[in-house]
Chains A and B, each alone.
Chain A
Amino acid sequence: MKVIGIPRRRVDGRAKVTGQTRFADDVALPRMVHCKLLRSTVPHARIVGIDASRARAHPGVHLVLTGADFPIPYGILPVSQDEHALAIDRVRFVGDPVAAVIARDELTAFEALDLIAVDYEPLRTFSGPDDSLEHDTPRIHDYGDAGNIHKLVSLRFGDVQAALSAADHVFDDTFFYEGNTHLPIEQHAAVAAKDPDGKLVLWSSTQTPHYVHRALAKALALPAAHVRVIATPNGGGFGGKSDPFNHEVVVCKAALLLDRPVKICLTREEVFYCHRGRHPVLMRFETGVKRDGTITGMRVQTVLDGGAYGSYGVASTFYTGALQTVTYHIPSYEFRGCRVFTNKPPCGPKRGHGTPQSRFGQEIQLDKIAERLALDPADLRLRIVEQPETLTANYLHVGTIGLTECIRRVTRAATWSERFRKLPPGRGVGLACSSYLSGAGLPIYWNDMPHSGVQLKLDRSGGVTAFCGATEIGQGSDDVLVACVAEVLGIDPSDIRAVTGDTDLTPVDLGSYSSRVTLMMGNAAIQAAERARDLLADAVSKKLSVPRDRLVFAERRVFDTEEPAVGVSFSEAVCLAETMFGTLGTTGSYTPPRSAARFKGGGVGPSPTYSYTAAIVEVDVDPSTGWIHVPRVWIAHDIGRSINPTLVRGQVEGSVYMALGEALMEEQTFRRLPPKLSHALVHKFPSMLEYKSPTTLDMPEVFTELVENPDPRGPFGAKEVGQGPLLPIMPAVANAIYDAVGVRIDEVPITPEKVLRALDAKAAGKPARVGPTRFPAVPWPAALEVPPPWEGGDGTAKVKSEKAKGKSEMRNVESEVARP
């Protein structure tokens, strides 16, 4: 390998350090005008009237749009088409867009917002799951499983009740994971224009140009072929730029009406309202174990506070219960999930999408189990790690599993056995593990087409251009694309130009979400490059009279492996092939393997393969203040194979960083304004100053170990790294705090105040714990019974529910179905 596995400057590295990367807000076009959105000041209300006449008359204002201009709804999931670009007759949270002003400059547009009068008729505000479960009306949306319940899920794989009865110990724990947000440093921005042909083009900081493309065609009733979406490199995404957004639809409509480029850049406060971040999740884990630690069965229940719109929420709900079985062997498993609507910014996918919350609960509970069974937590996990190449109880096919090696490496690096339960009071270490998808096995809208496509153009100069719809959000997708092509063709990454994230120029790639890009785009790139290599080999073979299988592509040459001096330069090889075949171009595509899950709900969780991570966090806790300091983190990640180890390490360390923010300080929370004001439910602190995130001074030393055991499903054996390493950190922090001061904090963020509260309780002889003490009553439906593979199951449900039979909508969403 000349490229793969070697630490290397990323292909877009120079642009990023010279300020030349062109982000969405750097796009400026002649005749461009500027857009601002008027957002709701009330959390839940009927819009009785909007008077925009004064705004329209304001000097410099070109256009004012309201909900009436956007009659067609859209949404990321086919089952949740519940958003309008501007509210039609109802606002559902403080920050919901109501009107748009397009003016000669930002300031004028901003001034004109004040001139729009909106008459609201307030409705009951739903501030959390208890409200939404208790009150059916008024409904925040007129769809969903009941009242203000968006989604109810109940799946059972085997007789969990019998398994719990047969256990030596049954653990029943509740946990709460507070919501938090992505906080990308780049504020969302978009520019829309008519191109010279009169077609619509949108530049936007989006992770999913293909889905935005579809949403625009629908919401604006345009032929999709007349819409072009260009994903500019994102200044951080983390899942927060994965939905089609109001502002994108609005500037497109305005550009079409005005026939001028229209730009919007959200303020930081507005980014908090876009949200789509981590769902707050209340969860209950009932787990049966034998004395030796073997798990007999597990029942997981989750309640998700979804906020005001569907977003990815149906998928998020399933994800809170999907991946428990992928790490440890769980012979019988039950999952119940409930997502409610509330009058807050919509939640959606943030790094780890729905799985960090339940991973938090699962890994803390394992720590409790280990203590009760007098087992070392690392040893307990080593006993129960799932077997590679198996089918889990819920029909997820796992590929290679490097978790055992991760645990061994990380415990060795951290000298775990010398630290665990042996450090002085106030200091402690905690361990936790996790796994994550290397790409969702199903697309968001149901189809059998490839998930990623790559086209190559080979040039007589010796250069190659790689076209792919994949979206560069900082993770290095352009670099992976180029590296895979360079390796196969034996040329230098600098010889290749990447053209990405443009729905006109590039073949479809579904986007930068679910850690899918490296595996899916990488495989497509390899296929395209191998096809190009074959063409060149045919031509060179003929020219040199050397058999094809003796030709080697390396160091910008194509040569005879037995006689390396006999060969041609890569550019000569291209000329020979172009002479022989005509204009050269090849394609590659990737479609994930078919899932074994054939029950309704089996569409969430399948992946070509899974990554694994183990982490140890060390903490210092000051018992007088509760202050938590994290000096060191050791983490081992099963990457399969590193494409570019520099970027892999960056993803691991960045995940640790973001996870520590979630564990210790970040929270997207809300408060009521005083009654003498509006009593509205508002974001507690929609600013970067008060929404605390770790700085350079908060970041611990991180010791990263990469476990390389190539998975045959990945490009050159690679698995994901962008999300998995985040998952074990939060529970490892909680477990370390228990080791340090003997209190359980069963919720995040773990603040000094909570630690002190638990220490006080401990001193008073009460349970030394802070965390939820109850789980709400949820009207769970009868479980869909799916016998696990070892009980003769074939991946289908025992009895099909009425709903599954009748509803075609269920076929249309990744989150709802297995493939027929």
Chain B
Amino acid sequence: MAPHAHVPLTVNGEPTEVAFAPYKTLLEVLREDLNLPGTKHGCELGECGACAVLLDGQPVLSCLVLGVDCDGRDVTTVEGLASDGRLHPLQETFADLGAAQCGYCTPGFLVTAKALLDEHPHPTRHQIREALSGVLCRCTGYQQIFEAVEAAIATTDSRLSTTDPRSCR
């Protein structure tokens, strides 16, 4: 077997170092070596978008990124969206509004939507559609996903204007 690669990277805000076979994709490294199975796979060929994660804040398909290419970089997965015991507004609204049915594509949608809102805090419905078009969902028909993203924007806006913290449900 080929010698393992040793790669330092930041995962969900925590600096870490991981050793893995050098042919492994970021998806495999996350699921198998970093014990982060929240990121899913639907094809392992870059076709479905389920495995999307944020790499330095940008959505990438983790099945198409080699683990060794993540040296020194910053990775955010679905496990890293909640903070300080609070779910991310997108997580709250996805759960509340039916945007997650089977939940298998949900991690991919959540991180992709987060990247969108980080860059454009007030996107139009069409911008939301475009930003999410690389992730496939077979359950929802997408409409409740769009509504959840829009509701999260409203939540974020109201959070910014109040100091009232919502507890993690």
- A residues near B (Cβ < 8 Å) are 9-10, 12-23, 25-26, 28, 107, 182-187, 233-238, 267-268, 473-476, 646-647, 649-650, 653-658, 687-689, 693, 695-697, 699, 701-702
Tell me, rounded to whole Å, the shortest Cβ–Cβ distance linking A242 to chain B: 15
Identify which of B50, B106, B140 contacts A650 (C-beta below 8 A).
Answer: B140
The answer to whether B74 has its CB under 8 Å from any CB of chain A is no
Residues of B12-69 contacting chain A, CB below 8 A? 23, 31, 36-45, 47-48, 50
Bound together, the chains give a CA A688 to CA B92 distance in angstroms of 30
Chain B contacts of A688 at CB under 8 A?
42-43, 45, 47-48, 136
Once A9-B96, A17-B110, A653-B144 are accepted as A-B contacts, the answer to whether A696 and B133 lie under 8 Å apart by CB is yes
How many residues of chain B have a CB within 8 Å of chain A?
57
Overall SS of chain B's interface: loop
Tell me, rounded to whole Å, the shortest Cβ–Cβ distance linking A736 to chain B: 18
The answer to whether B160 has its CB under 8 Å from any CB of chain A is no
Identify which of A13, A185, A650, A687 contacts B104 (C-beta below 8 A).
Answer: A185
Chain A contacts of B92 at CB under 8 A?
17
Contact B87 A646 (CB under 8 A): no
The 6 closest A-B CB pairs, nearest first, are A19-B38, A474-B102, A235-B104, A16-B103, A657-B141, A13-B95
Tell me, rounded to whole Å, the shortest Cβ–Cβ distance linking A546 to chain B: 35
Listed by A's residue number, 23 A-B pairs whose Cβ atoms lie within 8 Å are A10-B98, A13-B96, A16-B102, A17-B92, A18-B38, A18-B82, A19-B106, A26-B37, A182-B138, A183-B138, A184-B138, A185-B138, A186-B42, A235-B42, A473-B102, A646-B144, A687-B45, A687-B47, A688-B43, A688-B136, A689-B45, A696-B129, A702-B141
User: A236-B139, A650-B140, A653-B143 are known contacts; what are 11 more A-B pairs with Cβ within 8 Å?
Assistant: A16-B102, A16-B103, A18-B87, A19-B78, A20-B38, A107-B23, A185-B105, A235-B40, A650-B101, A695-B136, A696-B133
Contact A650 B138 (CB under 8 A): no
- B residues near A (Cβ < 8 Å) are 23, 31, 36-45, 47-48, 50, 77-79, 81-82, 87, 90-92, 94-98, 100-107, 110, 128-130, 132-146, 169
Chain B contacts of A475 at CB under 8 A?
101
Chain A, Cβ-Cβ closest to B101: A474
Contact B139 A650 (CB under 8 A): yes
Contact A185 B100 (CB under 8 A): no
Overall SS of chain A's interface: loop
Once A184-B138, A474-B101, A474-B139 are accepted as A-B contacts, the answer to whether A268 and B129 lie under 8 Å apart by CB is no
Once A10-B95, A184-B138, A646-B98 are accepted as A-B contacts, the answer to whether A699 and B143 lie under 8 Å apart by CB is yes
Once A19-B79, A185-B138, A650-B139 are accepted as A-B contacts, the answer to whether A268 and B144 lie under 8 Å apart by CB is no
Tell me, rounded to whole Å, the shortest Cβ–Cβ distance linking B25 to chain A: 12
Contact A18 B144 (CB under 8 A): no
Bound together, the chains give a CA A702 to CA B142 distance in angstroms of 10
Most buried by A among B40, B87, B134, B144: B40
Contact B102 A19 (CB under 8 A): no
Contact B106 A16 (CB under 8 A): yes
Contact A693 B136 (CB under 8 A): yes
Identify which of A233, A649, A653 contacts B103 (C-beta below 8 A).
Answer: A233
Tell me, rounded to whole Å, the shortest Cβ–Cβ distance linking B142 to chain A: 5
Bound together, the chains give a CA A697 to CA B130 distance in angstroms of 7
Contact B40 A23 (CB under 8 A): yes
Contact A696 B96 (CB under 8 A): no
Contact B78 A18 (CB under 8 A): yes
Most buried by A among B100, B129, B139: B139
Contact B98 A647 (CB under 8 A): yes
Chain A, Cβ-Cβ closest to B146: A696
Contact A236 B102 (CB under 8 A): yes
Identify which of A9, A107, A657 contacts B142 (C-beta below 8 A).
Answer: A657
